[in-house]
């Protein structure tokens, strides 16, 4: 990708409406590394490291009942910059529960925790580069970025592809969420088409009748159609 293409896809390191970026953004010019020093080797993950229900947040933390909230199924393909499927990529997700609260000691949102839900999942893509996540639709929650700030419903995605050039941390949003227009993390992506790549689409073919709505969310690692990188933050 050229510098212009990267700027159009990914959010800038410094985006004043996203206030914590003022403390995290580099204040000096970055030093490019010589190409010879780049390591294109990558991590290798095996299916034996995962439990059968690690992909299913409605089951993997169940203690004494079903987790509360609207069940969802998220399915998509992980592709490289040329549109080819990436097999065996590790996908990790984390999210708030239906009330908008994370299982995290620093989450002070005045909302209930769910004893049967941690909001975390791990899975590997199959031979077609496909993954499937079963979960609960997360709730919106307040955060301290600016007065009356609320984050739209979202799921965090972390991906490890075949090498370190196929590393991505991003977020998936839901279609039609009115909070997207007010969210500086989402709006920090300069290109409207780039922002649209972070919004899943409702897919009735994935919907399980009477049980869960289905959403499609494809992820592209690299190239001009790359899924935008999420700037690190503590929400």
What residues act catalytically?
102, 141, 151, 154, 156
Provide the pairing of β-strand 71-80 with 219-221: parallel
Q: How many Cα neighbours within 13 Å face the side chain of 34?
A: 2
Alpha carbon distance 45, 213 (integer Å): 30
Give yes or no for a contact between 228 and 222, defined as CB atoms under 8 angstroms apart. Answer: no
CB-based burial of residue 84 (10 Å sphere; 0-12 exposed, 13-18 middle, 19+ buried)? exposed
Alpha carbon distance 125, 207 (integer Å): 20
CA angle, residues 39, 45, 51, in degrees to nearest 5: 155
Give yes or no for a contact between 163 and 41, defined as CB atoms under 8 angstroms apart. Answer: yes
Alpha carbon distance 21, 161 (integer Å): 27
Q: What is the CB neighbour count within 10 angstroms for residue 139? A: 18
Q: 219 to each of 31, 125, 160, 232, how far by Cα in Å? A: 29, 11, 12, 18
């Amino acid at each position: 990708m050229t510098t212009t293409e990267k700027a159009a896809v990914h959010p800038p390191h410094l985006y004043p409406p996203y206030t914590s970026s003022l403390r995290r953004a580099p204040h000096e010019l970055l030093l490019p590394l010589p190409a010879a020093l780049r390591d294109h080797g990558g991590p290798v993950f095996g299916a034996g490291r995962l439990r059968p229900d690690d992909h299913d947040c409605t089951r993997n933390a169940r203690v004494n009942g079903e987790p509360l909230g609207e069940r969802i199924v998220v399915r998509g393909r992980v592709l490289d910059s040329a549109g080819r499927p990436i097999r065996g990529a590790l996908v990790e997700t984390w999210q708030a529960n239906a009330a908008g609260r994370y299982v995290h000691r620093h989450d002070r949102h005045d909302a209930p925790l769910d004893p049967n839900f941690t909001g975390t999942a791990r899975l590997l893509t199959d031979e077609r580069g496909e993954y499937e996540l079963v979960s609960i639709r997360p709730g919106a929650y307040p955060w301290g970025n600016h007065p009356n700030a609320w984050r739209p419903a979202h799921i965090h995605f972390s991906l490890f592809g075949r090498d370190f050039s196929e590393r991505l941390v991003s977020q998936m949003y839901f279609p039609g969420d009115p909070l997207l227009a007010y969210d500086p993390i989402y709006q920090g992506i300069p290109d409207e088409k780039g922002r649209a790549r972070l919004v899943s689409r409702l897919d009735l073919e994935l919907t399980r009748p009477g049980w869960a709505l289905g959403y499609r969310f494809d992820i592209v690692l690299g190239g001009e159609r790359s899924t935008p990188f999420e700037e690190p933050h503590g929400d």
